Amino acid sequence: MRVLVALPDAGRFAARLRAAGIEVVATTSPRELASDAAGSALAGELARADVLVLPADRSVLTPALVASCDRFDTRIVARCRRDADRRLAESLGLAAVGQDVDAVAAVNALPRAHTAPARGRAIAVWGPAGAPGRTTVSIELARELARDGRRVGLADADTHAPSLALALGVADEGPGLAAACRQAGRGELTPAELTRIAVPLGDVEVLPGINRPGRWPELSADRLERAVDVARDWVDDLILDVSASLERDEEIVSDLDGPRRNAATLAALTAADLVVAVVAADPVGVSRFLRSYPDLRSAVGATPVRVVVNKLRGGPLGIDARGQVRRSLERYAGIERCWFVPWDPRAADAALLAARPIGEGAARGAIPAAVRRLVGEAVSPPGPNDAARRSRTSSRKRRAERHAAVTATAP
């Protein structure tokens, strides 16, 4: 086996390989490898090497480099410092090892049989007109799912009033979901390409929507369905923030096979494995939801729907606001169970001002706690492997908190 090493500690890594009788064809730095992403200057070394060892960093581990290694039949081992690095390597179909793994063990990780991961699911977040909080719920859902170590994508499929990029402080001039749909229409979209065009926001990969409502024809039904299908091999959970309109008026007025304004919403709801329906906790919001709910059920068919009552407070509903909403939903829509998210304007305003999820600035606040309960009970109930994963995540957080406390008190 011949190995090309491109690591910050390439000398020490190569020495360990040579001591074990493994041939090292060359060593280089990640910076030099990144500047030669296409592999033109390193073509000779790549052609002679069986394995390339490099750090799992977006500046180094690019689709162009992966394509060059495929051309030379050179396999890649990516050393990962964080969970996000491991997700990047796995999305490209590469062998991922920890930063502290021995050099010989890292190279020997390749012969193991690769088992295809289970396909991910799509979760559509819908709500009637009137700003019930679809985008806020989408963001908090994505953050909460990512806390358990899941690979999470967040896409803005709203063709009427896209707001995900603005709420998260992400530039909406980039490729985003529209570019993914265009490539899906040509049959060229891959999980690696989704990783390239997505904007990483912590542990969540964000696909911003269109930056002008007039671009809605780019999100056609066929393109979006294909993009969602590819995304199932990209992330464990894809959260789709969709618009309120469910009408099919264009199909009634014209029988021509042209673009439909609400096609993206209907396609996302049809392709979703789970729908989260958001209700604003006031008389107008509940009334709008009850009138639109039959159309939603008609669009999604047998797909499970989880109803979230957002912005719950006693002001517009009086005494026992929770009970009044629950009884109204059960009586007029047959909804026997729903989940409640309280109204916390201070935390919501602070998050919007800082362009970040509410849970990042107030992790123990009322809204993150309610979303945590929603995820645990209705969206992603604990499975047999979740307890160990959550324990590892909690242990890392406790160590980080202790380290921060010691650093803050150090002289």
**Is residue 328 in a domain?**
yes
Q: Is residue 216 part of a domain?
A: yes
Q: Write down which residue in 78, 107, 136 finishes a domain.
A: 107
* Shared domain check, 153 and 41: no
Residue 394 inside a domain? The answer is no
Whether 72 and 135 share a structural domain: no
158, 176 in Cβ contact below 8 A?
no
Do 94 and 125 belong together in one domain? no
| 354 domain residue, yes or no | yes
* Domain range enclosing 166: 121-383
pLDDT tens-digit series, residues 312-331 = 998 998 889 999 999 999 99
Write the CATH number for 51: 3.40.50.2300
Task: Give a yes or no: residue 222 inside a domain.
Answer: yes
Residue finishing a domain among 107, 129, 161: 107
In this structure, of 56-60, 147-151, 398-402, the range with the lowest mean pLDDT score is 398-402
Of the ranges 23-27, 61-65, 399-403, which is most confident?
23-27
Q: Where are the alpha helices (DSSP H) in 336-376?
A: 345-354, 358-361, 366-374
Structure-model confidence comparison of residues 103 and 136, the more confident one: 136
Lowest average pLDDT, out of 46-55, 133-142, 143-152, 160-169, goes to: 46-55
Give bridge partners of residue 206 from the DSSP assignment. 154, 199
- Residue 302 domain-assigned (yes or no): yes
Based on the domain organization, do 229 and 254 belong to the same domain? yes
301 and 218 within one domain:
yes
The beta-strand segments (E) located in 143-289 are 152-156, 199-201, 204-207, 237-241, 274-280
Q: 278 and 309 share a domain?
A: yes
* pLDDT above 90: percentage of residues in the chain: 51
Query: Do 30 and 117 form a contact (C-beta atoms < 8 A)?
Result: no
Domain end (from 107, 137, 168): 107
Q: Are residues 155 and 33 in the same domain?
A: no
Looking at the domain assignment, is residue 83 inside a domain?
Answer: yes
Confidence band (pLDDT; 50, 70, 90) for 249? low
In this structure, the answer to whether residues 264 and 364 fall within a common structural domain is: yes
Percent of the chain at pLDDT > 70 equals 85
Mean pLDDT of the region 7-19: 84
Q: Tell whether 182 and 95 lie within a shared domain.
A: no
Number of domains in the chain: 2
Q: What is the model's pLDDT at position 41? A: 57
Task: Work out the pLDDT band at 9, boundaries 50, 70, 90.
Answer: confident
Q: What is the per-residue pLDDT across 270-302, written as a single tens digit (0 to 9) for each?
A: 999 999 999 999 999 999 999 999 999 999 988
pLDDT higher at 358 or 10: 358
pLDDT above 60: residue 411? no
In this structure, the answer to whether residues 101 and 129 fall within a common structural domain is no
Task: Give yes or no: residues 155 and 234 share one domain.
Answer: yes
Same domain flag for 75 and 167: no
Answer yes or no: is pLDDT of 218 > 70.
yes
Q: Is residue 114 part of a domain?
A: no
Per the prediction, the chain carries an average pLDDT of 84
Give the model's pLDDT for residue 102. 79
Cα separations (Å) of 11 from 5, 24, 42, 81, 289? 9, 10, 18, 19, 63
Q: What is the pTM for the complete model shown?
A: 0.68
Q: Which two tokens stand for residue 38?
A: 């296409």
Most confident of the following: 97-101, 156-160, 360-364, 396-400: 156-160
Residues paired with residue 125 on neighbouring β-strands, in sequence order: 241, 276
For residue 170, give the CATH number of its domain. 3.40.50.300
- Element (DSSP H or E) covering residue 225: helix 221-231
